[in-house]
Structure 1
Amino acid sequence: MSEQVYSGVDQDEDGGLTPLGRIVIDAWVFGILPESEMCTGWSMSQMQNLYEEVYAAWGPYAHLPSRLPPELQQRHSFFYSQRITVAKNNGWDTDLSDES
């Protein structure tokens, strides 16, 4: 049985706005990873390690974007706006209703 690997934020569903994708995006925000790193082919243990780094980086800000210093708020807004645009261009539906 082979270990599962991450598809990469650029190949992820919803423009990368999935739980794993958000870990990568937040790693970009905090400078843990370069923006060019999509984490394609990363093992789940590698993703877990990245999650732990990102979680620790959020700690001083109570895990709230509104508590980030201005530079990090700008990076957060930039990366998430970019990913939301990608998601919408790929048919992402933001309707949260139960009716399909």
Structure 2
Amino acid sequence: MNKPSTYIGIDKDLQGGMTTIGKIIRDAWVFGILPETQTCEGWNLAGIDSVLQKVNAEWDKYGCLVSRLPPDLAERHQRIHGAAIEKARANGWCGEHETDDED
């Protein structure tokens, strides 16, 4: 089976968008790199990687810790990621696959 050459879009992604690319997109929304309406549908890997570089640069300013975000960004982070978790759980996601290898 061939891998797709473009991204399906966070709204159509596996596990309600609880994937690595989904997290990158949500973080880009938090930092204002992308508008919250941007799903990145049809983007190629280079486009996603470009966003990742910008997201990483923003996280570096705060030591990669949510607790170090200023209040406005912390609120946006909680709102955006909280809503995503709620939606994913409602669609059957439980997050266990993310910790399966921690034993």
TM-score with structure 2 length normalisation? 0.87
With CA pairs under 8 Å and 6+ residues apart, which has the higher RCO, 1 or 2? 1
Runs (4+) of structure 1 moved beyond 6 Å?
A: none
2:31 paired residue number: 30
For structure 2, the 5+ residue unaligned runs are none
CA RMSD of aligned residues (A): 1.9
Q: C-alpha offsets along residues 57-90 of structure 1, whole Å, 9 cap, x if unaligned?
A: 1111011111100000000000011100110111
Match runs of 1:1-100 below 5 Å: 4-95=5-96, 96=99
CA distance in 2, matches of 1:76, 1:58: 12
Say whether the 8 Å CA contact 1:3–1:43 is kept in structure 2: no
Q: 1:74 to 1:2 in 2, by over 3 A?
A: closer
Aligned length: 98
Over the matched positions of the two proteins, sequence identity in percent amounts to 42
CA distance in 1, matches of 2:95, 2:53: 28
Aligned-partner residue type, residue 88 of structure 1: R
Aligned-partner residue type, residue 32 of structure 2: G
